[in-house]
Amino acid sequence: MPAVSKGDGMRGLAVFISDIRNCKSKEAEIKRINKELANIRSKFKGDKALDGYSKKKYVCKLLFIFLLGHDIDFGHMEAVNLLSSNKYTEKQIGYLFISVLVNSNSELIRLINNAIKNDLSSRNPTFMCLALHCIANVGSREMAEAFAGEIPRILVAGDTMDSVKQSAALCLLRLYKTSPDLVLMGEWTSRVVHLLNDQHMGVVTAAISLITCLSQKNPDEFKTCVSLAVSRLSRIVSSASTDLQDYTYYFVPAPWLSCKLLRLLQCYPPPEDGAVKGRLVECLETILNKAQEPPKSKKVQHSNAKNAILFEAISLIIHYDSEPNLLVRACNQLGQFLQHRETNLRYLALESMCTLASSEFSHEAVKTHIETVINALKTERDVSVRQRAADLLYAMCDRSNAKQIVAEMLSYLETADYSIREEMVLKVAILAEKYAVDYSWYVDTILNLIRIAGDYVSEEVWYRVIQIVINRDDVQGYAAKTVFEALQAPACHENMVKVGGYILGEFGNLIAGDPRSSPLVQFNLLHSKFHLCSVPTRALLLSAYIKFINLFPETKSTIQEVLRSDSQIRNSDVELQQRAVEYLKLSSIASTDVLATVLEEMPPFPERESSILAKLKKKKGPGAVSVNELEEGKREGGELNGGGDRGGDSSAIAASNASTPSPSADLLGLRTGPPVTAAAPSAGSLLVDVFSEAGVNDDGFLRDLEPPTESSDSLLAEGPGDSDSAPPSVVSEDPAPPLPESNELLNKFVCKNNGVLFENQLLQIGIKSEYRQNLGRMYLFYGNKTSVQFINVQAKPVEPLIEGGAQVQQVINIECLTDFTEAPLLNIKFRYGGALQNLSLKLPVTINKFFQPTEMASHDFFQRWKQLSQPQQEAQKIFKANNAMDTEVLKAKLLGLGMALLENVDPNPENFVCAGVIQTKAQQVGSLLRLEPNAQAQMYRLTVRSSKDTVSKRLCELLAEQF
């Protein structure tokens, strides 16, 4: 910037500002301002032409008056005239006035645009920067139309100075954000991307902000930036603090640029190029290593910059979710922050670990910090940190620690901050239901929940416990006994009375044999609470009383006396009065048989998703629950192709609609939308709701499966060829061919069941699946990443309109009829911005998903190995290692394959052997596997033997891509 000479000090402006500051009252200030405005107006209208200095001074005074909160309705033309000056200070004041006071609808825009064009073409770097700053500050559509084609040329021109390039990049970013349809990079794309290689770090910092924004909207056009970003990041991470002196902040080299590079890489999946991926992994390892080094400065700025880079690196590791070693290391690093004295670091660590807990690779590592998190829940002073600790406990919960976590959350509830109690109650209720192996524990937990925080227990919670008790014979007696004991407390919450009235009315007979809980004792206990309750609860209790008359005829006279009392049949509330009159008449005139028929025990409720989930999601906002369960929690509608589009062997898989989701789906944070499935070969091959609670035994899996009747056809969505498979407004088009990366996306899920299947700038598809024998269930989550509606979603049972940011869940039941090689295709069609989007992906259903692990002794294994010695039964492949040969990672992947990993079987302890049986409807296919790693040569030899040759070949192909 040019130096400002002493003569440019504008003494008159300084005197005016001093006068304003010396005013003793508001009236005096207004009087002085009005006097100055009159003087400026007369000067502008006077016959004598003003020189540049005077114009600058008076325009500056107007600007100051405006900043004091007064309206300015003149002086705009004088400011525009200053733009034509050749003096920097005059031009600067002119641009400043225009940036602040001129709106986009001003009549002067055309004159301003002409002045800006002159400055941009002047090749004077100072004037060019002033013009670019003005364009960015105003940022109107008119300016975007005028300069969107010119600024990219300035940005990539070889003779443009570095300071101008920085301004041009940020100016273009501003215009793109306000008018993205006008900023078309086109031919400039590759040259803008190559600014990441610029020698000037300031240019790189400005350019990366622009590239990140452009990549989010057009990732395919800018995907070449990944390798350049990794290269630049590698140079920064490996540099010493003295190498980048101008861009080193408290001994941390280029922290802002490093964070922006890591954020840019989060717009893309892991690099496909092995060398680039290796270099990136090395960078991330270096960042994690530097976090362990002692600080080079005690200043807080040093630790802030260092931690900012670390957290962005961890976010990138979580985004990729493909490097087990890095995920575990990231978890351990965050675990150290959990006990840091800085509150903000503890908060961020808890928040990041919530996301890590949803990864298969790092879930176990997160669980090791359970005691620290529980301690944070109890001792943290800041309520927001305690809330994140509760979120993390919720996210890390599984069958192994559910009782401990639920107990701790219940304990914390007694002293929890009122602002988070309702959310805590919902989480305890969800966890207790999801991980209840023993349903007596579930009943105890919910009743304890009502006792501790009854005011925050919503109807959804006590409704749910009623549903579960009614649907499970084994827990009904225990529930009746427990709720009877709970009602004996002197102070009893109304929600407890509701649960007690319902359960005793249905199952009080199960405990009536004990004199301490005889029918009259039960009735008197309930009726003692009657007068303390609200009208809805009283109505429920009246229904319980009439049920008692059916269950216990000896209580009939006592209950009729209560119903006949004036407080009931003459009650001011019409609902209570009607119930009392009708129940009294029913008990008086109906025969025993009629009474038993009318008042028979409630039938089991149809299994459906817990409504508690929807309540929690609504409480926390869209997507808030899914972060704990599935980081890919944004969903959108889709369509699964029929058999004709799946490829030759994929017809071996029959998919059916799931009428209700499983309990494990409850924590996915959605209401279940009607599922969409493939047209199966025949209705007889369809499954009922295999994962619903009606088919779950104590170990939480399948029981009593039966195929549905022929009427199940009505459950099926029409295939792509059906005339009504989409709303009438959708133009029917053939399904798109599978994406080129479909096979790569499929391979990601060979050894895992959860994750992000596909993501682009519009749509994210997440998957969560579970299998048992030849049956499977898959949950697809479609997320609209834009703020615009997706309309005409071409899948009949899915809502045809998806709001921006909305989420849709799709459930598919799967049955393996015989072995297969090709995965079924998923075809998604919807309209975005008027354009039909049509894409096809391979669903990650591979033959290994139907493995039943088989434990074998060494002798049995090799005996069976020799029996499978025919050439066609064996498939073998020797290949180079694609990843680090880590023993734990290899074990995790082999276990993820679905086979049993056999210990101490192979004579060579370095080798891995596995055994399993593939369960299909047609037959069982026994398979044995032997993996021989050679760490020195970085090679593997994989041998698979199966009783069916096609299975051996397919398993060998799938596994060779995993190591």
In angstroms, the CA 650 to CA 656 distance is 15
Question: Residue 58, annotated ligand binder?
Answer: yes
Indicate the helix (H) or strand (E) that contains 728: none
Torsion on CA atoms 201, 204, 209, 210, rounded to nearest 10: 150
For 801, the token pair is 């309109």
In angstroms, the CA 562 to CA 569 distance is 10
Give Cα 285 distance to the centre of its chain: 26
Query: Ramachandran region of residue 672, left (φ > 0), alpha (ψ -120 to 50) or beta?
Result: beta
The Cα angle at residue 163 between residues 162 and 168, in degrees rounded to 5 = 95
Phi (first) and psi of residue 338, to 5 degrees: -60, -25
Q: Which of 809, 819, 808, 818 is nearest to 778 (CA)?
A: 809
The Cα angle at residue 948 between residues 947 and 951, in degrees rounded to 5 = 115
Question: Residue 61, annotated ligand binder?
Answer: yes
- Please say whether the dihedral angle defined by the alpha carbons of residues 624, 629, 635 and 637, taken in this order, is positive or negative: negative
What string of H, E and C letters represents the secondary structure of 922-948?
CCEEEEEEEEEEECCCCEEEEEEEECC
Render 57-109 in DSSP notation, one character per residue.
HHHHHHHHHHHTT----S-HHHHHHHTT-SSHHHHHHHHHHHHHH--TT-TTH
Q: Provide long-range contacts, Cβ within 8 A and 24+ apart, for 736-745.
A: 736/827, 736/838, 736/839, 736/840, 737/840, 738/825, 738/840, 738/841, 738/842, 739/839, 739/840, 739/841, 742/840, 742/841, 742/842, 743/842, 744/272, 745/841, 745/842, 745/844
In angstroms, the CA 219 to CA 471 distance is 50
For 343, the token pair is 């509150």
Are 568 and 576 spatial neighbours (Cβ–Cβ below 8 Å)? yes
In angstroms, the CA 543 to CA 536 distance is 11
For 468, the token pair is 């579960």
Residue type, 852: Q
Q: Which of 906, 950, 956, 901 is nearest to 932 (CA)?
A: 906
For 113, the token pair is 């645009």
Torsion on CA atoms 480, 481, 485, 491, rounded to nearest 10: -10
Question: Residue 53, annotated ligand binder?
Answer: yes
In angstroms, the CA 749 to CA 399 distance is 23
In angstroms, the CA 823 to CA 827 distance is 13
How far apart, in Å, are the Cα atoms of 247 and each of 225, 253, 264, 295, 699? 22, 6, 20, 18, 58
Question: Residue 394, annotated ligand binder?
Answer: no
Question: Residue 12, annotated ligand binder?
Answer: yes
Question: Residue 165, annotated ligand binder?
Answer: no
How far apart, in Å, are the Cα atoms of 748 and each of 195, 742, 893, 963? 33, 10, 11, 11
Question: Residue 11, annotated ligand binder?
Answer: yes
For 681, the token pair is 């070969």
- Other Cβ atoms closer than 10 A to 364: 15
Phi (first) and psi of residue 922, to 5 degrees: -80, -40
Q: Could you tell me which residues are beta bridge partners of residue 367?
A: none
Residue type, 824: P
Pairing relation of β-strands 754-759 and 835-842?
A: unpaired
Q: Could you tell me which residues are beta bridge partners of residue 845?
A: none
Pairing relation of β-strands 807-816 and 653-657?
A: antiparallel
For 562, the token pair is 């209560």
Feature table: binding site: 11-12, 43, 53, 57-61
